[in-house]
Chains A and B, each alone.
Chain A
Amino acid sequence: MADKHHHHDHEHDHRHGGHDDRHAPPPDSGRPRTEFELLERALSELLIAKGVLAEADIQRQINFMASRTPALGAKIVAKAWADPAFKRDFMAEPRATLIKHFDVDIGAALELKVIENGPGDHHVVTCTLCSCYPRMLLGPPPAWYKSLAYRSRVVVEPRAVLKEFGLVPPRTTAVHVHDSTADLRYLVIPRRPKGTEGWSEAKLATLVTRDSMIGTAEALAPDAAA
């Protein structure tokens, strides 16, 4: 890597303008860009230069992806807990059901598979080939989900990995690892915690964490909710 060269660019190349230029990139951490960051930059500049995309298109898509957070997934899971008919429809026809009840269209390019944890089955999701993740419902994945350690270990020793997350399924519970290799994205419905009978969907949603929808955690216990 041309670290030195890059450092030189950063110090003295002010093509993008100074402080008064509102298009100036934000100051970064000072570390050299990785090869992938350079590749991304080069590809973006080429696509813009050739008129395939405008800068605004890229920003719009980034903003759209960043607008999705685990809060959306939590609302959906809470409704699935509270409303058996919704859960049945959501598990059978995820896309149509989300459009109908949440006005959310996850798109036709990928299929969502909804899997439900129960006393006899615990599901956990990974992507060993890259970092496939239900971004349309949970937003960008956490850093650990993309890490080589998680991706390579959870398929080999899922129970050891779950234990590191604080989760120890009994040996009578089958652990299902889902390697998201191609066109499916997985959302886990965690088990509904005991002691939540009669709770509203909004209150139930406070118990549904991001990790519980990946399968590396259970939903929060009622007394742990804020």
Chain B
Amino acid sequence: MIAPRFKVGDAVAVARRGHAGHHRTPFYLKGRAGEVAEVIGAFRDPELLAYHKPGLPKRFLYLVRFRQGDLWKSYDGPPNDVLTAEIYEHWLEPPSARG
């Protein structure tokens, strides 16, 4: 198995692209910048499993942490409030590559 592309603490951005079909990347996080909180491991690809395929190759899955203030302009909670989500590696980019 190849190594994960990102490590804990890396700044990342969620790809902004659309996807025709099942995928596990919420729309509200697309294009948003966050930080890798945890490398969870490699899992079968849900975008293929959903169509009765074996889901291979496996994809690395990350816990990505976002600051609420970065997600919502109107967020009025304290700056330490965060949101985490599980994002697959092929939906993550270095922040400079943000589209």
What string of 1s and 0s marks CB contacts (under 8 Å) between A117-154 and chain B?
00000000000110000000000000000000000000
Decide: B84 and A128 in contact? CB cutoff 8 A.
Answer: no
What string of 1s and 0s marks CB contacts (under 8 Å) between A38-50 and chain B?
0000000000000
Decide: B86 and A156 in contact? CB cutoff 8 A.
Answer: no
Measured CA separation A71–B81 after assembly (Å) = 30
**Known contacts A111-B40, A111-B41, A182-B46, A155 near B87 by CB under 8 Å:** no
A191 interfacial contact with B, CB 8 Å: no
Within residues 65 to 79 of chain B, which ones have a CB less than 8 A from any CB in chain A?
A: 68, 71-72, 75, 77-78
Measured CA separation A177–B86 after assembly (Å) = 12
A180 interfacial contact with B, CB 8 Å: yes
Measured CA separation A182–B63 after assembly (Å) = 10
| Stretch among A12-20, A62-70, A91-99, A168-176 lining the B interface | A168-176
Decide: A159 and B26 in contact? CB cutoff 8 A.
Answer: no
Q: How far is the CB of B98 from chain A (nearest CB, A)?
A: 20
Across the interface, which residues of A come within 8 angstroms of B61, CB to CB?
182-183
Partner of B24, one of A158, A159, A181: A181
Q: Which residue of A lies closest to B86 (CB)?
A: A182
Decide: A180 and B86 in contact? CB cutoff 8 A.
Answer: yes
Q: How far is the CB of B73 from chain A (nearest CB, A)?
A: 11
A178 interfacial contact with B, CB 8 Å: yes
Decide: A158 and B81 in contact? CB cutoff 8 A.
Answer: yes
B51 interfacial contact with A, CB 8 Å: no
Q: How far is the CB of B67 from chain A (nearest CB, A)?
A: 10
Measured CA separation A220–B86 after assembly (Å) = 30
Q: List 26 A-B contacts (CB under 8 A).
A: A128-B26, A129-B24, A155-B28, A155-B71, A155-B83, A157-B75, A158-B77, A159-B81, A171-B77, A174-B81, A175-B81, A175-B82, A176-B82, A177-B81, A177-B83, A178-B85, A179-B84, A180-B86, A181-B24, A181-B25, A181-B87, A182-B46, A182-B86, A183-B46, A183-B61, A184-B86
Interface set of B (CB-CB < 8 Å, partner A): 24-26, 28, 40-41, 43, 46, 61, 63, 68, 71-72, 75, 77-78, 80-88
Interface set of A (CB-CB < 8 Å, partner B): 111, 128-129, 155-159, 171-172, 174-184
